[in-house]
A and B are shown apart, each in its own frame.
Chain A
Amino acid sequence: MEIIEKKIGSVSIVALGGRLDAYASNDFEQKLNALVDAGEACLVVSLERLDYISSSGLRILLASLKKVRKREGDIKLACMKPHVKEVFDVAGFSQLFSIYDLEDVAVQAFSKK
């Protein structure tokens, strides 16, 4: 799978592409943990190029969300394809995460706090 990191102001953006299954989730977990452990509190995970996510990917996102919310931070999600969104909906994750159609809007939402 593809993982691209970038930063806009104080917001770290992690863009995922391809297939986030249990095999790929190790890489994603390491990258996300590195950011969270480094103290990043404002994160956007952009899913525009993500074709697939299983429970392994959701588990990592939820574990990180718990950590950053304790620091008054957040992980916002952006640009989900419809069948990826369905997985979040079925899991009840759409109520736990703030979800945006556009990456820019997710990034800007941090400055509106």
Chain B
Amino acid sequence: MTIKGNKFKLKVEAALENLSVISSAVSEAMKQAKIDAAIIPGILLAVDEACTNIALYAYPERKGYIRLTCWLNHDDFVISIEDKGKPFNPCSVPPPELDAKLDDRKVGGLGIYFMRKFMDEISYKYDPKTGNQLTMRKHIGTDNRGTE
């Protein structure tokens, strides 16, 4: 991961074996940003789910990359995740039925729900030139800002 200005940037091949690399890098970025340790696991889960989808589905026939950028914007920790694979808007996926009984409960569909649940805002845009861009924000305010 590199730091330019106040932004952390990471580019890795979109592959499941890189999920732990992404997690370590984002975790380090959050520690440096002094984000409250209590909310770090939820943010890491949201990032991991987004990157899992890219690794599994974005590049079905070729190698491709995930570009991740994160930074602090006032009281928000912002993570931008970009890929140049197939267009996919996670915001269009309906939430799972959490109250369904075991027999009716669908296996899967939780990843995007976690992204919504653990982050305060997610937005998506697609540009044919630059590809998919998912932006997730977590409000860290004074409550979620740890001290050294």
Contacts and interface: CB of A to CB of B under 8 A. Distances in A.
Is the A/B pair a real complex?
A: yes
Interface of A: 19, 21-23, 52, 54-56, 58-59, 62-63, 65-66, 69, 83, 86-87, 90-92, 96
Interface of B: 16-17, 19-20, 23, 41-42, 44-45, 48-49, 52, 55-56, 96, 98-99, 102-103, 105, 107-108, 110-111, 113-114, 117-118
A66 B96 CA distance: 17
A23 B105 contact: no
B105 A59 contact: no
A83 B36 CA distance: 14
The 3 A-B residue pairs with the shortest CB-CB distance in the complex, in nearest-first order: A92-B98, A55-B110, A23-B16
A54 B45 contact: yes
A66 B103 contact: yes
Nearest to B112: A55
Contacts of A69: 102
A57 B127 CA distance: 32
Contacts of A56: 52, 111
B114 A90 contact: yes
A92 B97 CA distance: 9
Given A52-B41, A55-B114, A86-B41, A21 B48 contact: yes
A63 B107 contact: yes
A87 B98 CA distance: 13
A54 B52 contact: yes
